[in-house]
């Protein structure tokens, strides 16, 4: 799915969440917790039971006071990759689903390469609780997961997000690959943010979403089973659609930023390279 060139461009990048999350295992990512890494954090008074290896002997000799050196802990980052597999993702050429898979793999590859814990979930798919993948060795498994094309549980995007938020998943970065075309999605995002996650939204849209070229008298059938709409596609109707889309996107951005996250709107036709350069690097998603 990712070309060799794209994989080379992702090499060396690391995810840079704005928030700090506690890890389960020692990893390569600094946390605010004092730990046992080699990076000095602060001094504190000695208390019984402290590891004497971290006693600062020089200070004891000069001041005759036992002072302990503390170090920043290095833990792994939980990166939840949520891939929207709702029917609306099947639209577009190339389809939004294909594009979302590539962006999910890109995030996953960066995370694996950075030693983060990757949890990959497909919204709308009946899947067991995902295992955690760490390290580059997990890359093939991540690829296989992304290539699955199962939509065996009809579920709206917002319901899927709410289900994830209620699953007690470890707080971390939630990378959402979706078109976001669900009127309740902003409130679902706010719920997710409320659970302590930092939401990174990659809203993948097709030309039909961004610049619909409709004409005439139409009956629009909702791809996700919503109410049909009768429409005379003229200038006024298209203008109103664009205004509604803009309002919806603004609501999504607000929800993401409220939790310190990011959001970017990408065209399904865009390459991973372009998105990395245009948004992820510039807005500090990766470094």
Partner 1 sequence: MTFQNPTALLWFLPLATILFVLYLLKMKRRELRVPATFLWPQKTEEIRANSLFQRLRFSWLLVLQLLAVALATVALARPQTSRLGLTGEVTVLVLDASASMSANDVSPSRFESAKKLAREAIQGSSGGDRIALIEAGPSPRVVFPLGRDSARQASALNDLKGTDAPSDMGEALRLAAALVEGIDGARIVLLSDGRFPVVDDFVRGKAAVVYRRVGELSDNVGITALGLGDGPQGRQLFAGVKNYGPAATGGTLSLYADGKAIDSVDFKVGPSKVYGHTIDAPAGAKVLEARIKVNGDKLKADDYSVALADPGAALKVLLVTKGDPFLERALALDPRVTLDRAAELPADADGKYDVVVFDGIAESPVQARGVMTLGAAGPGSPVTARGSSKPRFESQAKDRILDGVPFDGVFVDKAEEATLAAGAKALVEASTGPLLAVREQPGKRQVYLAFDPLQSDFPLQPAFPIFVANALTYLGGEAGTSTLSVATGSTFSVPTTKEATLKGPETEATLKPRNGTAVVREAVRSGAYTLNVDGKERAVFASLRDAGESNIAPVDDLQLGGGAVKAQAAPRRFADFWRPLVALALLVLVGEWWLFVKRS
Q: Which stretch binds partner 1 (CB under 8 A): 4-12, 73-81, 158-166, 217-225?
A: 217-225
Q: Report phi then psi at 248, rounded to 5.
A: -65, -45
What whole-number distance in Å separates Cα of residue 158 and Cα of residue 36? 41
Contact by Cβ (8 Å): 266, 203: yes
SS3 141: helix
The β-bridge relationship of strands 26-45 and 132-133 is: unpaired
Q: Which stretch binds partner 1 (CB under 8 A): 163-171, 189-197, 223-231, 262-270?
A: 223-231
Q: Which stretch binds partner 1 (CB under 8 A): 59-67, 142-150, 241-249, 260-268?
A: 241-249
Q: Does 255 bind partner 1 (CB under 8 A)?
A: no
Structure tokens at 277: 């350069």
Q: Which of 195, 218, 267, 273 touches partner 1 (CB under 8 A)? A: 218
What whole-number distance in Å separates Cα of residue 278 and Cα of residue 251? 22
User: Minimum distance from CB of 190 to partner 1 (Å)?
Assistant: 18
**Residues of span 158-177 touching partner 1 by CB under 8 A:** none
Q: Does 211 bind partner 1 (CB under 8 A)?
A: no
Q: Which residues pair with 42 in a beta bridge?
A: 70
Q: Which of 171, 248, 267, 271 touches partner 1 (CB under 8 A)? A: 248
Residue among 95, 114, 99, 115 at smallest CA distance from 6: 99
Q: Does 91 bind partner 1 (CB under 8 A)?
A: yes
* Residue 201 to residues 35, 177, 254, Cα–Cα distance (Å): 32, 6, 11
Q: Does 64 bind partner 1 (CB under 8 A)?
A: no
* Nearest CB to partner 1, comparing residues 86 and 138: 86
Residue among 212, 163, 205 at smallest CA distance from 181: 205
Q: Tell me, residue by residue from 95 to 124, as one string, x for binding to partner 1 by CB under 8 A and - for no binding.
A: -x----------------------------
Q: Which of 67, 191, 231, 251 touches partner 1 (CB under 8 A)? A: 231
Consecutive H or E run containing 255:
helix 235-258
Q: Does 191 bind partner 1 (CB under 8 A)?
A: no
Contact by Cβ (8 Å): 36, 71: yes
Q: How many positions of this chain bind partner 1 (CB under 8 A)?
A: 38
Report how far apart the first and last C-alpha atoms of the chain are (Å, whole number): 23
Q: Does 88 bind partner 1 (CB under 8 A)?
A: yes
Q: Does 250 bind partner 1 (CB under 8 A)?
A: no
Q: Does 182 bind partner 1 (CB under 8 A)?
A: yes
Q: Does 219 bind partner 1 (CB under 8 A)?
A: yes
The alpha-helical segments, DSSP class H, found in 157-211 are 157-165, 185-194, 207-210
* Nearest CB to partner 1, comparing residues 59 and 220: 220
Structure tokens at 153: 């549980």
- The residue ranges that bind partner 1 (CB under 8 A) are 88-89, 91, 96, 179, 181-183, 206, 208-209, 212, 214, 216-224, 226-232, 234-237, 240-241, 244-245, 248
């Amino acid at each position: 799915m990712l070309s060799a060139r794209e994989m080379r461009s992702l090499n060396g990048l690391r995810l840079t969440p704005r928030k700090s999350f506690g890890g389960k295992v020692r990893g390569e990512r600094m946390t605010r917790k004092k730990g046992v890494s080699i990076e000095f954090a602060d001094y504190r008074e000695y208390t019984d039971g402290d590891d004497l290896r971290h006693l600062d002997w020089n200070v004891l000799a000069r001041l005759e006071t036992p002072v302990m050196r503390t170090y920043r802990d290095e833990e792994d980052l939980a990166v939840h990759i949520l891939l929207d597999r709702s029917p609306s993702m099947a639209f577009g050429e190339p389809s939004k689903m294909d594009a979302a898979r590539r962006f999910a793999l890109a995030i996953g590859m960066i995370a694996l390469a950075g030693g983060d814990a990757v949890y990959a979930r497909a919204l709308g798919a009946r899947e067991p609780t995902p295992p955690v993948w760490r390290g580059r060795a997990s890359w093939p498994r991540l690829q296989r997961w992304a290539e699955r094309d199962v939509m065996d549980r009809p579920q709206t995007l917002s319901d899927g997000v709410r289900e994830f938020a209620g699953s007690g998943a470890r707080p971390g970065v939630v990378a959402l690959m979706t078109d976001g075309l669900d009127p309740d999605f902003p409130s679902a995002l706010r719920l997710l943010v409320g659970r302590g996650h930092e939401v990174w939204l990659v809203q993948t849209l097709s030309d039909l979403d961004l610049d619909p070229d409709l004409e005439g008298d139409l009956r629009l059938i909702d791809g996700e089973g919503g109410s049909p709409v009768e429409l005379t596609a003229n200038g006024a109707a298209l203008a109103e659609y664009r205004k509604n889309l803009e309002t919806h996107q603004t609501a999504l951005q607000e929800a993401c930023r409220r939790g310190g996250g990011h959001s970017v709107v990408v065209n399904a036709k865009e390459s991973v390279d372009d998105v990395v350069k245009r948004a992820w690097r510039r807005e500090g998603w990766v470094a």
